[in-house]
Amino acid sequence: MHAMHYLDHNAITPMRPEAKAAVTAALDVFGNPASVHAAGRAARDLLDHARAQVATALGARLPEIVFTSGATEAAALAIRGVLGAAPAGREDLVVTSVEHPCVLGLAESLRAGGRNVTVLPVDGRGVPDLAAAAEAVTPRTALVCAMVANNETGVLLPVRELAALARDRGALFFTDAVQAVGKVELDVRTLGADLLALTGQKFGGPRGAGALWVKSGLRLAPLLGGTQERGRRAGTENLPGIAGLGAAIEAATARREVERRRVGALRDRLEAGLLAAVPGTRVNGSGAPRLPGTLSVTLPATDAEALLIALDLEGICASAGSACHSGSTNPSSVLRAMGLSVAEARSTLRLSLGWSSDDGDVDAALEAIPRLAARVQAEIPAA
């Protein structure tokens, strides 16, 4: 039986001990936070504490934090909420071509419903063209969407510049910060955004708990009616999940610089080793600033799905791109937007490291990937 080596932190991270402890403790707090009795007040205290932890990590004010079931709901609330409250004549949406499927899928749905949607191109590094953005954002634009860091390549997008451009044109700006929280510095007081989404499962928290930061004074049409979260998100709060989210974001933020250096060194060793061992390997996003733990590599003349199965049999967990698209026969839209061919996109692995990664994970990957890539290459008939 092989030991497990987990190189898929961008899909989901192992829970941090602090988050596990917070979830477990919250299971005993059974009151409804909306109730006025002692049990309800205890639940409200726990909710307020988690809200303070998230707000502190982002440089936000407590009332600006809206708890959700995760980033997909947070993104939908941000996009539909802004568009639903936008004044007549400001109805258009602008998104980058490398957004997460939860944003691009919603944009396509809105386009099918008659909404004017512009998709910004990116260069070969995966960075949006600011000149194209300047042309795309018009007096009709209600909202511009650009993620802080791409989930497949780790490329950091120029969000401050894009947010400033949106603000200059009178549009609002939403950023998906899911992969960035706990890995790079994020302060909503200087970022320039109006809305920001995150989810606990990407930085050591439990799944099923996320948050949307909404700048004070911003009008947002709720997805569902109800009084919770200041009328912005209906439904009784997932208290154990939210408690775990708060504990995880506090721990991730406190250790961010130490983990950034340590995880970055592991990623750099993995990258250098694969480039040396597998001829023709290409690093996607190379030349652009990237997250410390993300490595997207195209291994020529291989098949990523076959390689992932072989790696799994040896206890190594990785992915071929966005975990949300795992099992799909369609090649990665992010890699295609960056100019990769269908064959290249289907020959690409995403290896992502995080807070629990160590040298043994890198050693195992460097031993197995070149060997298994050569085997897969030999089994694929020449074109």
Instruction: Give catalytic residue positions.
Output: 324
Cα(180)–Cα(182) distance, rounded to whole angstroms?
6
In degrees and rounded to multiples of 5, residue 331 shows phi and psi of: -70, 160
- Residue 175, strand partner residues: 196
Which residue is listed with tokens 């991730």?
252
For 326-334, the CB contacts below 8 A with 24+ separation are 332/152, 333/97, 333/98, 333/101, 333/104, 334/97, 334/98, 334/126, 334/150, 334/152, 334/153
CB count within 10 Å of CB 255 equals 15
DSSP tag of 170: T
Task: Count Cβ atoms within 10 A of the Cβ of residue 183 and give its class: 0-12 exposed, 13-18 middle, 19 or more buried.
Answer: buried
| 285, 122 Cβ separation under 8 angstroms | no
